[in-house]
Amino acid sequence: MLSSDIAFTASVKAIQTARGSREAYARIEQRGGFRTRISKDLIDFLAGIDTAYLATASAAGQPYAQHRGGPPGFIRAIDEQTLGFADFAGNRQYITTGNLAENNQAFLFLMDYAGRRRIKLWGCARVVANDQELVARLLPQDYPARAEQAILFTVLAWDVNCPQHIPRKLDAGDVTKAVAKLEARIAALEADNASLRARIERTNP
């Protein structure tokens, strides 16, 4: 079984054949399919993102997707096949936790809107409760949130999506810093301009 078969089921391949894309994806399969190990480029990508979507399903197959967010780098590599993050207290519906208790199959969709990049990961996830050492290890420093538990995600396969149709969105904090820098530069230039004008006026009474 190829790693990409986790997504390219027989039904998917049949549709790819009918619509003309099977040959292109067959070439990916000839190269081994999707990646299965957490690489340095994936770790670097994780270090810069603050937005992810975790999809799970109940035992009956009812899907559910939940936003996960935090400071850049809140999802961390534990080893070459495991990601982990602190699960912050929220609205206490516990749908994801309940789903994982009966069906460990999961999917992570990672977004970098500023860089127009996205990565999708297939795998299995589990909730780790009552392990304060692990939670403390995964909790972002100085982040004002309470972690109820940790979630560990075992990566079975991952792939990079093309940037097509991804809207470019900038983080408000980054924009504020950039604007502040520009305002400081403008103020410095205005001060220099005023100083030069005053000097010219003194030399040309």
**99 sits in which H/E element:** helix 95-102
pLDDT of residue 205 exceeding 70:
no
Q: Strand, coil or helix: what is 122?
A: strand
pTM of the model: 0.83
Fold of 35-161: Pnp Oxidase; Chain A (2.30.110)
* Contact between residue 124 and residue 154 where contact means Cβ atoms under 8 Å apart: yes
The predicted-structure confidence for 35-63, as pLDDT tens digits, reads as follows: 999 999 999 999 999 999 999 999 999 99
- What is the C-alpha separation between 50 and 40, in angstroms, rounded? 18
CB atoms within 10 A of CB 24: 9
pLDDT of residue 122 exceeding 70:
yes
